[in-house]
Amino acid sequence: MHLGIITCEILRKEVRALVQTAGVRDLYFVVPDAANSVTVVFYQRVIERFVQEFANEDVTIRTNTLPRIRKELEKRQLRDSVIVKVLELRMHDRPYDLRHEIEDGIMRMGAFVDLIVLGYGLCGSTEQELERMIAEAEVPVLIPRDKDGTILNNCIEIVLSRERVQELMAEEVGTFFMTPVGAALIKEPQVILKSTINIMAGKMKPYAVGDTKRVLQLMKNHYHRVVKIVNSEADERDKAYAETVKRFASKFNLEIKQEQGSENVLGDLLDANSNVKKISQVS
């Protein structure tokens, strides 16, 4: 089976778990067709972080453009592979651009993979917009959903479930959620806040992100605790993660609550989907 993944880097650990579930050893990361010095450096850094995530896995990792990956698969006559397209962080701030990137990835990957998994929720798009893209795809496209089939909103619901997020918000409406990868990528309190402002206060316009005083006041007035999400024992032992959460809580005088999440949501999509089982049997 050739599996395509289009994802945000926030779900790095979930992508690793998905690759484990697929049982595939040849892993490709997509770089832009027309790369310049800036994009090359960006993708090198992203891929290096993914490589670290796979340090203890029996996988071979390569990088290339989508056309060249396709040619290499044909030349090597591989029957199984995983092709990962990682989109830049904070694209939920630009939903139109995010939808365009996802749609382009689905169209181009769909020409030679058997299945595509989206490492995204709605992230600023409407359910109708994403369902249309999924329905028009040439191959099956899986996206994290609630028990009733509704597409989940964001990465927080993907790792905790919509039901648990709603329970936590009912306990304390002023709750900020932090994930291990998110904290590792954006360590400073003010940067974390700016990077997630549209998730926390969706009605605020993008220019509000630069209004530091307004942002700080928003936190102090409306947020009372931070939920530290741990998906594994490694996350619990991660001193850098603990320190980032502690520093963030101290900055805004927030209570800290630890919550157990799961890295297996994307992998579970493979096990739960009958189309995948049929493809795997053919492969």
Digit-coded pLDDT (tens) for 35-83: 666 677 778 888 888 888 898 899 999 999 999 999 999 999 999 999 9
pLDDT reading at 148 higher than 50: yes
In this structure, the number of other CB atoms found within 10 A of the CB of residue 144 comes to 25
In DSSP notation, 215-278 reads HHHHHHHH--EEEEEE-SHHHHH-HHHHHHHHHHHHHHT-EEEEEE--S-HHHHHHHH-HHHHH
What's the confidence (pLDDT) of residue 101?
A: 93
pLDDT reading at 276 higher than 80: no
Instruction: For residues 162 and 50, give the distance between their C-alpha atoms in angstroms, rounded to a whole number.
Output: 27
pLDDT reading at 178 higher than 60: yes
- What is the longest distance spanned by two Cα atoms in the chain? 59
Comparing C-alpha atoms, which of 74, 84, 78, 89 is closest to residue 30?
84
Angle of CA points 196, 152, 47, to nearest 5°: 60
- Which tens digits make up the pLDDT trace of 194-223? 545 444 444 444 444 455 566 666 666 678
What's the confidence (pLDDT) of residue 94?
A: 83
* Of 9-23, 45-59, 145-159, 264-278, minimum mean pLDDT range: 264-278
**Boundaries of every domain in the chain:** 2-153+264-282, 160-260
CATH level 3 topology of 2-153+264-282: Fructose Permease (3.40.35)
What's the confidence (pLDDT) of residue 189?
A: 52
What's the confidence (pLDDT) of residue 90?
A: 73
Question: Crossing angle for the helix pair 95-109 and 127-136, nearest 10 degrees?
Answer: 10
Binning pLDDT at 50, 70 and 90, where does residue 271 land?
confident
What's the confidence (pLDDT) of residue 281?
A: 42
Q: Higher-confidence residue: 153 or 272?
A: 153
What's the confidence (pLDDT) of residue 212?
A: 55
Strand order in the sheet with 255-260: 175-178, 225-230, 255-260
- Cα 59 to chain centroid distance, Å, stands at 20
What's the confidence (pLDDT) of residue 51?
A: 87
* Of 91-105, 149-163, 178-192, 250-264, minimum mean pLDDT range: 178-192
Instruction: For residues 109 and 138, give the distance between their C-alpha atoms in angstroms, rounded to a whole number.
Output: 9
